[in-house]
């Protein structure tokens, strides 16, 4: 029996098209509906949006952009520098103002460890963008 000619695969937009299976790397965690407290930052971010799909879309777009920002920002830190910043950040929540004041906090801290050059670390932080500082604080888990 002769081989029949192959039919072209349907493409996106064709009703017969089926999305390809996601690879392990492409899979995302689906948490479904989750109650979220809307403090002032989220209330400001979603101001004017009335339905949950608009709000959900806004939150997810913002989170996606934030994650991309974290991916492309930050700075190389030595282990003593990381320890110093962890000590400073260990107060818990870091507000945007506190993040901006990290260079000053490095200069004022009494924290010491082998290999730490606080003057150099403060200068490095002073020359960093706010996005870089946020990425550093996030990388430290604060």
User: Are the C-beta atoms of residues 84 and 116 closer than 8 Å to each other?
Assistant: yes
Helix residue ranges per DSSP H, the chain: 40-45, 52-72, 79-89, 96-100, 102-108, 118-126, 130-139
- Does residue 93 lie in a domain region? yes
Model pLDDT for residues 24-65, shown as the tens digit of each residue: 666 666 666 778 888 999 999 999 988 888 998 999 999 999
Which DSSP symbol is given to 14? S
Pair (54, 85) in one structural domain: no
Whether 83 and 59 share a structural domain: no
- Read off the DSSP letter of residue 25: T
Express each pLDDT in 86-130 by its tens digit.
999 987 789 999 999 999 999 999 999 999 999 999 999 999 999
Residue 11 lies in a domain: no
| Total number of domains constituting the chain | 2
The domain of 125 spans: 79-139
Q: Check whether residue 91 and residue 129 sit in a common domain.
A: yes
Q: How far is 129 from 71, CA to CA, in rounded Å? A: 14
pTM score over 0.75: no
Nearest CA-CA partner of 81 in 127, 130, 123: 123
- Decide if 120 is inside a domain: yes
Whether 59 and 44 map to the same domain: the answer is: yes
């Amino acid at each position: 029996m002769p081989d029949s000619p192959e039919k072209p695969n349907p493409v996106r937009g064709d009703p017969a098209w089926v999305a390809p299976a996601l690879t392990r790397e492409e899979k995302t965690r689906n948490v479904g509906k989750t109650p979220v407290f809307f403090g002032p930052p989220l209330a400001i971010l979603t101001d004017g949006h009335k339905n949950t799909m608009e709000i959900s879309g806004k939150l997810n777009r913002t989170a996606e952009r934030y994650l991309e920002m974290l991916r492309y920002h930050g700075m190389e830190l030595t282990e003593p520098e990381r320890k110093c910043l962890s000590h400073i950040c260990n107060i818990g929540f870091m507000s945007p103002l506190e993040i901006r004041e990290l260079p000053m906090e490095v200069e004022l801290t009494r924290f010491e460890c082998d290999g730490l050059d606080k003057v150099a670390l403060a200068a490095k932080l002073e020359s960093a963008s706010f996005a870089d500082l946020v990425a550093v604080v996030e990388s430290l888990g604060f």
